[in-house]
Amino acid sequence: MKLLIFVLLMISITARISGGDRITGQPFATRSEVFSVHGMAATSHPLATEAALEILRAGGSAVDAAIAANACLGLMEPTGNGVGGDLFAIVWDQESQKLHGYNGSGRSPRSLSLEKLRSEVDALGRKDIPPHGTLPISVPGCVDGWTALHGRFGKLPLGGVLAPAIRHAKDGFPVTELIAHYWKISGRILAEQPGFTATFTRDGRTPEKGELWSNPDLAKTLEQIANQGRDGFYKGPVAEQIASFVQRHGGYLTVADLESHKGEWVEPVSTRYRDIEVWQLPPNGQGIAVLELLNIMEGFPVQEWGFGSAKLIHHFIEAKKLVFEDRAREYTDMEFYDVPVAHLISKKYANQLRDLIDPEKAMVRVDTGRSQTDQGDTVYLSVADSAGNMVSLIQSNYRGIGSGVCPPGLGFGLQDRGELFCLQDGHANLYAPGKRPFHTIIPGFATRDGKPWLSFGVMGGATQPQAQAWVLMNLIDFGMNLQEAGDAPRVVHVGSSQPTGSIMSDGGEVALETGFDAKVVDQLRKWGHTIGTRTGLFGGYQAVMRDFRKGVWVGASESRKDGHAAGY
């Protein structure tokens, strides 16, 4: 009895010293890491994670499993993704010991000129491209991405890979809590958009949490893709229905735009942070912002400052402002503009930017671009298989269910990614026909000593590069485990150089999650930062790590979302 009392006392003392009730690890950790031997999947929906494992158990590759999970998420989390959106991926191929990048973003309608777009925008009484309706619709790149990835790295027939999603679409699935919340918001915002109510409501009502939802129209679309591959989407009845419906409602997307679409295999680019090589895809996405940000932070005594310190947060925010000025000015489709990628991610350039940071004063005149890039709803997932292959995949409609335009009988909505084009003459991201818009969604990857170490991502508009860098510092500088690195409270800076009368100061606003010391917040205010809280701004994290020393996979999943990581 005395021994038992002693043990319980020591546990209590340990918990109090650590600042929380957890016996092991950081007090802010929501759960333990997940470990497995043969494979791992981490997604934002439990049934999508289970679909990935189902495919892995059937002998499928990591890519097969990732496509299966993505197809399920398009059904179960339409507030973040679907076949009407775009896709990016980084794949570690164990056989070739090489990383492969895929840019699956779609292009603008070739029949819509800049002059015509400007006249359409003027007629709406706007100065920029609207977020909803037919004008911001670009070609959906998701399905082409699936078939390209599957053609190179798949093992099972595409029909078998899509079978779980088709089954759930026919039989129904229970809607999870957070997804039900965002679905309801989409229902209010998009109710007037063509086809939305018929596709995503029942009698005008969006589903409640726990309510069974089926989508037989999407099941038919997925069956077309399963049977005919990319031609089942970009040619024939599906393509014709998409194009005719968009044009009927004043849009410009054509069957020719759909038929001619092709994604692109690209070489990932990297920088070294401490002893880790961090990999991203080059623009038109914002992935190199992660590399720029890490390069700047590498020159500071991050570990000495400590997690959550005022010095760390201040310098991180200031570095972000400088990087996002580059993002606003330079990131775009590289077929239309020579983005100086090598210069932007160089250590020399990082040294120049670092010298611009005042250690005790916030900058207020840094142009970080159009405010709507702070928006964005996305899904990120990661999968690894028994052969050692790893997939980092991200897929999105941009704003929730995207444009809200839903062609009848197909079961999905079309993205509004074209909203992110610029209409300013001379700008790198100026709209042009057949051009890919600036993109926010970025899959992340990291290697150690040339071996695959981490497949990870954090969804959420402009949050993504900030949160990816934050997670990596948690892992590398502060020694957090994979789950703790995602659970730790986050910092997100929003906007900068706002116009007079804005709700934010010229220096933008710093959003801090619960968990930072009040003294830290006070110090940040003294240095000139405007502090706020923005629920839902902090993103959604999934990650799979390879522990070579122990010979296991490690998985972690976002506590701010509905999903989980699981292995087999």
- Dump the DSSP string for 409-462: TT------GGGG-B-STT-TTB--TT-PPPB----EEEEETTEEEEEEEEESTT
Tell the residue number behind the tokens 């999934």, with chain if given: 542
Q: How far apart are CA 18 and CA 8, in angstroms?
A: 15
User: E-assigned strands of 253-376?
Assistant: 264-266, 269-273, 276-280
Q: Is 378 a catalytic residue?
A: yes
Distance, CA of 121 to chain centre: 28
Other C-beta atoms closer than 10 Å to the C-beta of 325 total 18
Q: Nearest to residue 313, comparing CAs of 542, 497, 522, 485? A: 522
Amino acid at 194: P
Name the phi and psi angles at 468, rounded to 5.
-60, -45
Q: How far apart are CA 315 and CA 487, in angstroms?
A: 21
DSSP 8-state code for residue 80:
T
> Tokens at residue 199, please?
């596709």
Of these residues, 332, 368, 378, 463, which one is catalytic? Answer: 378
**Which three-class secondary structure state does DSSP give residue 31?**
coil
Amino acid at 387: A
Instruction: Name 182's Cβ contacts closer than 8 Å, sequence gap at least 6.
Output: 79, 80, 377, 400
With b meaning 16 or more CB within 10 Å and e meaning fewer, what string describes 514-539? eebeeebbebbeebbbbeeeeeebbb
Residues recognised as catalytic? 378
